[in-house]
Amino acid sequence: MVNLIAKEINYNQKNKIMCHFLTFFPIFATQINPQKMKTRHLLTIAVLISAFFSANAQRIDTIKVHSASMERDVDNIVVTPEQYNDGYAFPVVYLLHGHGDDHTKWVGHTQPRLPQLANQYGVIFVCPDGDTSWYFDSYINPKVRFETYISQELVSYIDKHYKTIANPGARAITGFSMGGHGALWNAFRHPDVFGACGSLSGGVDFRAFPNNWHIKDHLGEQKDNVERWNQSTALSQIDKIKPGQSIAIDCGVDDFFYPCNVALHEALLEKKIPHDYTIRPGGHNHAYWGNAILYQLIFFTEHFIRHTTMAEAQTKR
């Protein structure tokens, strides 16, 4: 966040960003009137903030959360920012991995700077294990109920055990590949849980791949379950989107999921559903996703600013 302040050119925008910053760090709020700030005050505050953060330490927890619906424990990584020890509440960004990966992939490979990004944006990251589930509840295997786990059991656990701002305006969910599908699937179907969502090269319509990535293990053979397949894609759920949800879609033009992301974008346009849509050179790989998440975090931060009050951020948990 200090870096964001330093890079701003417009003075009024600096004041705006600092006002939002104070929302999450009220220790400074009683000492500063943002409307009367000078540029030198911003630099002084940046130094004070930097010194304050250095006295704390971010943390990476590996936790097991029991899923009653699946009757088993699920592994998760939780990254808390340096500021966490203040005792104030924070927004949460849920990060879903792709097929063949696990809960360690985000911080271990896709974006190893997650702890620093947690500090920069003042958020908690939660990286759950999703197995090969596509993050919905399986029609075939009753032990695979990852929609229930993500949107109910995990969120409830995180809000109970961590210092979160426990409302949809302070929750975002995104992911890559299978996780991009899962993020939109869960957010579209549970707008009362996730106020913001994103997808990075998401498999938002996987019907062109009936024999890939264990999808038929959860839906059955496509030829025998056509309607089930039709209704199990993120693309099929856009009618459930609620006004005010913030949506960001990002996909490289060389990605095999690019056509279905274009289709999702066009479907949202047809229904006049606001969303951010980003296409860039790139394929289906971690280098692309590690870069793309940096832009989605800016998008989510703006959402949190619009939907989170100072009173909520100042609530000690």
Each residue of 59-107: pLDDT tens digit?
A: 999 999 999 999 999 999 999 999 998 878 999 999 999 999 999 999 9
Can you tell me the distance from the alpha carbon of 100 to that of 102, in angstroms, rounded to the nearest whole number?
7
- What's the mean pLDDT in 105-113? 97
| pLDDT over 60 (residue 49) | no
- What's the mean pLDDT in 117-135? 97
- Are 178 and 213 in contact by the 8 Å Cβ rule? The answer is yes
Place of tokens 């279905």: 260
Q: Where are the alpha helices (DSSP H) in the chain?
A: 2-7, 11-24, 39-54, 105, 114-121, 146-148, 155-161, 178-189, 215-219, 226-230, 258-270, 286-307, 310-314
- DSSP for 8-49, written as a single string: ---HHHHHHHHHHHHHH-GGGTTT--GGG--HHHHHHHHHHH
**Tell me, what's the pLDDT at 228?**
97
Token output for 203: 């498999």
Q: What is the 3-state secondary structure (H, E, C) of 237-253?
A: HHHHCCCCCEEEEEEEC
Cα dihedral sign for 273, 205, 289, 100? positive
**Tell me, what's the pLDDT at 13?**
35
Helix axes 114-121, 286-307, angle to 10 degrees: 20
**Tell me, what's the pLDDT at 315?**
65
CATH architecture under which domain 59-314 falls:
3-Layer(aba) Sandwich (3.40)
| pLDDT over 60 (residue 272) | yes
Give residue limits of the domains in the chain.
2-54, 59-314
- What's the mean pLDDT in 132-161? 97
Give the H or E element holding residue 65: strand 59-67
